[in-house]
Amino acid sequence: MNPCTRGLLRSQIRKKKMIPGSFVTDVCLHCFCSNCAMIQEAKELNSMDRLLNGNSIAPAEKTIART
């Protein structure tokens, strides 16, 4: 994919998560540091999946049942 397409996808993620930024910044990130941008996007999408699947509590925060 070219940087414009990746920037558009990043913009959609930002809008859904209400993260400030601009399309121009998103395209520039993919032009000059695409690996960093893709890692950030993957982390955001993974966190969205966890919330949608009902796993909103991190494993370290879950309470342990005492016997």
Domain ranges for the chain, please list them.
Answer: 3-61
Q: Write out pLDDT tens, residues 46-56.
A: 887 777 776 65
Helix/strand/coil (H, E, C) string of the chain? CCHHHHHHHHHHHHHHHCCCCCHHHHHHHHHHCHHHHHHHHHHHHHHHHHHHCCCCCCHHHCCCCCC
pTM of the predicted model over 0.85? no
Nearest CA-CA partner of 31 in 6, 58, 8, 65: 6
Q: Write out pLDDT tens, residues 9-26.
A: 999 999 988 999 999 999
